[in-house]
Structure 1
Amino acid sequence: MAEITTILRQVYLQYGEPMFANTPVLKNLIQDLSLDESDTNLLIRAIDCGVAIQVMDNVPAPNNSTQIDIIVNHLVSNLMWSEDKAIQAVEYFTYAKFGDRSTSEASSNITIEEFPEHLLLAEEGDVVVQYNVGNCYEQGLTSNPYKAFHWYLRAAEQGYVLAQFIVAQCYEHGKGIEQNKLKAFHWYSTAAEEGYVDAQRMIGPCYEHGIGVEKNLTEAFNRYLQLALNYYLLAAQQGYAKAQYKVGCYYSNAKADKKSLTKIIKPSKKSDTPSSPPTKKITPNYTEALHWYMQAASQGNEDAQKVIDSICAKGF
């Protein structure tokens, strides 16, 4: 199980939830991993039964027994799964989404007697231990959001991308530190530059709504388009549906000019700063809009499908 869960977690960290929402691509990936036949068959069956999608959409935390039980009960009662296989399948994809109960389980395994030793390692600069100590303070041995933030920040400042993302969330929501949208944007950008998909998803909305950065719809457009194209180029039909829908929305009203679109191919780190680049004059491009609406709709995005239905109803 350890090998499978580790691989699934790596896939999630690299590609995010869109991979797990795209049944054909995910099945092809599983089949290419050369796992034991029994494990491959279990994962393929689970994917076909919608387990991956249900976990990604409905399980908010690894210890949320209510939602996990709903999925397991559905497999057993309606799809003729054995209970042990149903639990195993759900655990695989829960692990993929949250990590090994990832750091939370590691931190909860630190006893009170062991904690001083881990704290010493954290003081000496071990970034993984710093992250785990932060997790201990957040949800492990004792709850102290301020100390949790302190250790997450220590790890983030040393380049630990998971900590960078959590620090951004702390600043955005005021967890353990005074709310600061500018610093939230900074840490989201830092993690995004390291390739952390969950952070990359945050940059477009930040520019769109002016969260920690000057509102700039052109830059938001570029970020949504970059997300969509990155996923699309990774594999056929593997796009982040929400980003594709957003691109369709922006193309319906405006198209970034050639100069601004070069950022899609060669993004500049300097663009992730609190002062956003100047807005370009842009014009509509309905062909591109329809293309991206169709890409999003093909992955089940309901908003995109409504737009397409509306277009068809008008006879276009």
Structure 2
Amino acid sequence: MKTKLIIFALIATLTGCVNQAQAQNQSCQELYDTSPQSAIVICQNELAQNSNNVKLQFYLAVAYDLEENYTQAIEWYTKSANQGYAEAQYNLGVMYYNGHGIKQDYQKAFEWHSKSASQGFAQAQNNLGLMYVYGQSVKQDYTKAFEWFTKSAGQGFANAQFALGVMYEKGYGVRQDYIKAFEWYSKSASQGFAEAQNNLGLMYVYGQSVKQDYTKAFEWFTKSAGQGFANAQFALGVMYEKGYGVRQDYIKAFEWYSKSASQGFAEAQNNLGLMYVYGQSVKQDYTKAFEWFTKSAGQGFANAQFALGVMYEKGYGVRQDYQKAFEWYTKSANQGYGIAQFALGVMYHNGQGVKQDLDTAKLWFAKTCENGYDLAC
């Protein structure tokens, strides 16, 4: 179950169109984000009467942006931003960050976000924090990231509240504090932020700052998964498979794993493979299991790499191939996966897929013991 920080997004919602007669009776401000095509003409007419109006320039830019005319959008964002309009400065920063209509330029993105953030614009403050986290155009600096997230979160911006939760949970730029992490996740989750809802679920699973409570974890995972968040969909699959906080139900586990796996979530792909291997809620099918393990292993997931090794070694769902089994065991073992290290030791011991080498076998058996597996001790 992974934690991940948010990415930049210029949020704009099209809520439908208005007819021409309605548009003629509405202003640029009323139309720019609901009927951008009509707004462009009206905003231009209003600007003809008031050419330096920063808000009109911004509204026109947004209308062009929504129409995916990024060249014009950048032109008008720039005019508004150069006059100090914080929202335009932020949006211009996003355009440079994403490379929409202009060459991607993290330095300019940082500059425009800085100008907007200095005026207290919460979204820009949050994005500055992210740029410090990832070291984009600036040296990675968790302390400065924490400072900007704090400013943004203090204004109630859910993305930044989530980011602060991560900083406190991981001890990035601040002393690790599960209680504060829980508090900030809660603030963000209460606004419907899916990643925060997922992380609250994880804190209830592991009993971090709160008493372990699978029922509450299940509730938060359900809220997050309902928004399509792959991590939470995977977590729900686990809850149903194991019967944590809910009655065990392999059918529902399979459904949630499938939703998560379809989004490319490696752990879910691996678990789908396991369900096909053991015939849980579905007919046993080694071929389909092999397919899902392959997808997961291709993303570097050690469990799935080991599973592929088993499939090749035993000839389950694929033609038996000791050399390929050796290759996949090696990839998994190199990530410290104990059972794969043991399997690799066995292959060296027996000379399967590799020249027999008893000394190397002993080395892998020793690593297996170091990882807490008694199979080779």
Higher helix share: 1
Larger RCO (alpha carbons 8 Å, 6+ apart): 1
Report the TM range for the smaller structure's normalisation: 0.3 to 0.5
TM-score by length of 1: 0.46
TM-score by length of 2: 0.40
